[in-house]
Amino acid sequence: MHHVFMTIAKAMAYLGGLMLVALVFLTCFSVAGRELNSIAHTWIDVGFLPGYAHWLLDLGVGPINGDFELIEAGIAFAIFAFIPLCQITGGHASVEIFTAYLPTRINRFLGAVIEVVFALVLILIAVQLFSGMLSKVRSGQTTLLLEFPVWWAYALSVVGAAITTIVAVYMAVQRVREAMSNEDIIPVSAGAEH
């Protein structure tokens, strides 16, 4: 069962990574287009290569329309795409100033409590995102520049939040089982300790 959840978590992380790569390219092309547009207008103003400058502007060289809207929607998905892998590998930052000296049984209990609270918070976030998406569907709200329905971005985030929640609940169940049996079922392997 753990293998299935790990596969899902890794797939989500890859999707999040692909989203971020796409957003980086989008940002680079938009900034480059904005700069080329500015240069072309400067060339026209000073009379340097006016034919080339007009040609560039006629091609539509400039910032990508709605780049901020696309980045906003993509980043929201990417955040939820990375949380499952972080959750299942124990990759969240942990400060163990006091807990490092506690007995293993107490640390397992604290780990279970933290996982349960984290799962509950993620359930709340997913439910609220879903509610927000339904509200945006009903209102018919669209983005300012691209005029795509706002609920599309919410739907993308809801999918990520739902998968994140499923993985978090799975991990909470496993950590509770560990606390009850006082045995490692899934080792905390990649925690970022500070």
Instruction: Tell me the per-residue pLDDT of 25-35, one tens digit each, with 9 for 90 and over.
Output: 999 999 999 99
| Stretch 120-129: mean pLDDT | 98
**73-82 pLDDT, tens per residue?**
999 999 999 9
Tokens of 134: 């339904």
**131-187 pLDDT, tens per residue?**
999 999 999 999 999 999 999 999 999 999 999 999 999 999 999 999 999 898 887
Torsion of CA 150, 155, 156, 161, to 10 degrees: 130
| Stretch 115-129: mean pLDDT | 97
Q: Residue 30 and residue 66: Cα distance in Å, rounded?
A: 10
Full-model pTM: 0.86
Q: Residue 152 and residue 134: Cα distance in Å, rounded?
A: 11
Long-range contacts of 62-65 (CB under 8 A, 24+ apart): 62/33, 62/34, 62/36, 62/37, 63/30, 63/31, 63/33, 63/34, 63/37, 64/26, 64/29, 64/30, 64/33, 65/145, 65/146
At position 28, the amino acid (one-letter code) is: C
Q: Are 153 and 161 in contact (CB under 8 A)?
A: no
Q: Residue 6 and residue 167: Cα distance in Å, rounded?
A: 9
